[in-house]
Amino acid sequence: MKFTLKIWRQAGPQDLGKLETHSIDGISPHMSFLEMLDVLNERLIREGKEPVAFESDCREGICGACGLFINGRAHGPEEGITTCQLHMRSFKDGDVIYIEPWRAKAFPVIKDLIVDRSAFDRIMRSGGYISVNTGSAPEANSTPVPKEVAEEAFDAATCIGCGACVATCKNASAMLFVAAKVSHLALLPQGKVERKQRVARMLQTMDTEGFGACTNTGACEAECPKKISISHIARLNREHILSSLT
């Protein structure tokens, strides 16, 4: 297969970026999208040019490191997958493919397609956990958790922190990300103890990091590779109400 790639190149956070055009040929439809970029990079290196900087690690859709805005969509045209799980068979021979980094004030570009998502870590640090010291845990089966509650908590906990929700949201809002953690922990009996401070602090950090607000468009849920539902955002809102009124 043959493609024309329009790739965002940007030397550093302060530099101006622009799209660079590359054509690439001899691509197998079984190749993953990132392998296609690997092929391009090997060629660029051989030609003495600077390869395209992009991130990936596990390449099986769980670490959350990869994330490209491909043809106007977070993680590309397919649903329920990360960029590393996208294959070239999802494109037509001869396609023009636009590749851009996540764009948000809270995710400044580091280089080319790599952005700084440390804002997510700072949100998590402000309460995305249960305060239990090693060794002070009670016997695991002493608190039964209804199966459906555990399952719902799990659904929220599958967030991989890739940032697709922010990337696709017209407001660059991190609500789904924050909601996933708040909801996961608020559902479980172990997490209820700190629920009030947790939601208040995490939301405060979310705002100071410069993410937008939620307009309930549902774009995040549609592009989330783990299909995390915006019902968790509703729970986040409830948690906020509970936290501020009681």
Partner 1 sequence: MMAKLFQGSVGKKISMSLTGLFLCLFLVVHLSGNLLLLKNDGGVAFNQYSEFMSTNPLIRISEIILAAAFLVHIITAILLSLQNQEARPDRYVLDRSYVHTSFASRTMIYTGSLVFIFLVIHLKTFFVPHRLFHSEQTMYQTVKLAFENPFYTGFYVVAMVLLTLHLWHGFQSAFQSLGLRHRRYTPLIEKLGMGFSILIPLGFGLIPLYFFFRQFLK
Partner 2 sequence: MKLNSNIPEGPIEQKWSRRKFELKLVNPANKKKFHILVVGTGLAGASAAASLAELGYNVSVFCYQDSPRRAHSIAAQGGINAAKNYQNDGDSVWRLFYDTVKGGDFRAREANVYRLAELSVNIIDQCVAQGVPFARDYGGYLANRSFGGAQVSRTFYARGQTGQQLLLGAYGALNRQIDRGKVRCYPRHEMLDLVVVDGRAKGIVARDLVSGRIRTFAGHAVVLATGGYGNVYYLSTNAMGSNCTAAWRSYKRGACFGNPCFTQIHPTCIPVSGHYQSKLTLMSESLRNDGRVWVPLKKGDTRPPHQIPEEERDYFLERKYPSFGNLVPRDVAARSIKEVCDEGRGVGHTGLAVYLDFAQAIQEQGREAIEQKYGNLFEMYEKITATDPYKEPMQIYPAVHYTMGGLWVDYNLMTTVEGLFALGECNFSDHGANRLGASALMQGLADGYFIIPYTIGGYLAQLGMKPVEENHPAFEDAKKSVEKQLEKLLSIRGEKPVDEIHRQLGKIMWDQVGMARSKEGLEKAIEEIQKLREEFWHNVRLPGQKDQLNLELEKAGRVADFLELGELIAIDALHREESCGGHFRVEHQTEEGEAKRNDEKFAYVAAWEYQGKDKKPKLHKEKLEFEYVELAQRSYK
Query: How many other CB atoms are there within 10 angstroms of residue 92's CB atom?
Result: 8
Tell me if 54 contacts partner 1 by CB under 8 A.
Answer: no
* Nearest residue (CB) to partner 2, 33 versus 69: 33
Contacted by 234, from partner 2, partner 1, none: CB < 5 to 8 Å by type: partner 1
Type of residue at 87 = H
Q: What secondary structure letter does DSSP report for 153?
A: H
Q: Kindly indicate which of the ranges 20-28, 36-44, 80-88, 201-209 contains the residues binding partner 1, using the contact rule CB under 8 A.
A: 201-209
Q: For partner 2, which residue of 120, 166, 173, 236 counts as binding (CB under 8 A)?
A: 120
Q: For partner 1, which residue of 5, 66, 74, 153 counts as binding (CB under 8 A)?
A: 74
Tell me if 198 contacts partner 1 by CB under 8 A.
Answer: no
Q: What secondary structure letter does DSSP report for 26?
A: -
Q: 172 exposed, middle or buried (CB, 10 Å; 0-12, 13-18, 19+)?
A: buried
* Nearest residue (CB) to partner 2, 122 versus 238: 122
Q: For partner 2, which residue of 23, 131, 208, 244 counts as binding (CB under 8 A)?
A: 131
Contacted by 146, from partner 2, partner 1, none: CB < 5 to 8 Å by type: partner 2
Strand partners, 98: 6
Q: 124 exposed, middle or buried (CB, 10 Å; 0-12, 13-18, 19+)?
A: middle
Cα 96–chain centre separation: 24
Q: Kindly indicate which of the ranges 46-54, 57-65, 186-194, 216-224 contains the residues binding partner 1, using the contact rule CB under 8 A.
A: 216-224
Cα(71)–Cα(160) distance, integer angstroms: 22
* Nearest residue (CB) to partner 1, 17 versus 51: 17
